[in-house]
Structure 1
Amino acid sequence: MKKGKANREAIVAAAASLFWQNGFASTSLADVGSDAGVPAGNLFYYFRTKADLAQAVADVFVMETHAMLEEIAAEETDPRKRLVALVARLSRSQRSRVAYGCPIALCVRDFRITAPQASERAAESFTILIAFMARELGRAGLRPSLALAQARAALAEWQGGMMLAHAMKDATVLAESFRRLERLLAS
């Protein structure tokens, strides 16, 4: 990998982590450069503004969501097994979600004022997840309107579980939410 591409990826990864852990407003470009091992002055070569960096982080969320769902679709053909696999994938990050909340939801909120396009782009990850769940629920026999409503309820369960678990610093809350999510998607 070329050094420029490696630096850009390191900057975006550092920004995503710092935005998640410290918040967008509290993270300076100097913080990102330091964390990425790139001099702060060189950041402007890759990203002219903090909003441009937010857009790159949002793009990564969308790409990672697509990649996860493509992997699940490649591994499983049965719609119910795909939904079970999705819940299993989402539950892998319970510890960090309890500690910091959902990185996508936080960026959607934090980017909204100063980087609204990045906020909208990050929110696409949720739209993609809902569409995947609705499609698989439909393939499992639910009417399209019910499949969509159930998919939205599933995402709300997951997000609400993360938010409450983070607020209470209680992993049990999120584990219970994943059990409800499994039941919701299995019905």
Structure 2
Amino acid sequence: MAKQNEKRDVLIATAAGLFWRQGYTVTSLADIATHSGVPLGNIYYYFKSKAELARGVADIFITETEGMLVEITEADQNPRTRLQLLIEKLAQSLKSRVEHGCPIALGIRDFRHESPEAANRAAEAFSLLIGFIGRELGRSGIRPSTALSIARNALTEWQGGIMLAHGLRDPTVLAESFRRMERLLMVARSRS
């Protein structure tokens, strides 16, 4: 059973990378088979369709986001420090985001037509981030509705920065977005 789960995980990880670098639509199950080393016919043992595989990829987004937030939460109790740690964690992927864009945003967009369930699942990663930022701002004394608005603005800054930096192939654009995101959260925290 462990070997079966291992192959399933390899297929999902391979699909995630290919969907991100090539795009969901142009990536075929044959591409995934070739890059994963799992014979094409065996893919159907684990996934009945590419749309079902997209759901597995969306689950990765959730698992990784939850893991990052748990790590941040366990690292420090101070809401200000937690928000700073979040920005630092997000900034660690600057190079790959400039090169390929945001895998979560691309997944949401690309999965929407063939696998709306996977698109909705991928979008939960953004909801987790917004919820985390909002809660930490709330712990700083900011009203819940204001905290939610600031959290959405921070995520919008990050995603917009990724989009523009990717389009222009300019990492300084995303670095600037992280600084604006940090200022947004600092100003919000200083109001409390």
TM tier, smaller: over 0.9
1:142 is aligned to 142
What residue number does 1:15 align with? Answer: 15
What's 1:38 paired with? Answer: 38
Q: Residue 4 of structure 1 aligns with which residue?
A: 4
Gaps of 5+ in 1: none
1:109-124 to structure 2, matched below 5 A, reads: 109-124=109-124
Q: RMSD across aligned C-alpha pairs, in angstroms?
A: 0.8
What's the CA shift string for 1:67-125, capped at 9, x where partnerless?
A: 11011000010000000000000000111000000000000000000000000000000
CA–CA distance in structure 2, aligned partners of residues 171 and 181 of structure 1: 15
TM-score (norm 2): 0.96
The residue that corresponds to 1:128 in the other structure is 128
Write out aligned runs for 1:12-161 (5 A). Answer: 12-161=12-161
Q: How far apart are the structure 1 equivalents of 2:24 and 2:132? A: 29
TM-score, L = length of structure 1: 0.98
Q: Which amino acid aligns with 2:152?
A: R
Counterpart CA distance in 2 for 1:86 and 1:158 is 12
Once residues 141 and 164 of structure 1 are traced to their aligned partners in structure 2, the CA distance between those partners, rounded to angstroms, is: 33
Q: Distance in 1 between matches of 2:39 and 2:184?
A: 48
The DSSP-based 3-state class of the residue aligned with 1:27 is: coil
Alignment-derived partner of residue 168 in structure 2: 168
Distance 2:12 2:84 in 1: 31
Query: Which secondary structure state, in structure 1, belongs to the residue aligned with residue 114 of structure 2?
Result: coil
Q: Compute the displacement of 1:35 (Å).
A: 1.1
Identity between Structure 1 and Structure 2 (%): 56
**What is the identity, as a one-letter code, of the residue corresponding to 2:31?**
D
**Structure 1 stretches (4+) deviating beyond 4 angstroms?**
none
Q: CA deviation at 1:34?
A: 1.1
Which residue in the other structure is 2:190 paired with? none
- How far apart are 1:5 and its partner, in Å? 1.1
Deviation at 1:33, TM superposition (A): 1.2
Post-superposition shift, 1:2?
2.1
Work out the CA distance in 2 between the residues paired with 1:165 and 1:108: 19
CA distance in 2, matches of 1:184, 1:126: 18
Give, in angstroms, the shift of residue 135 of structure 1: 0.2
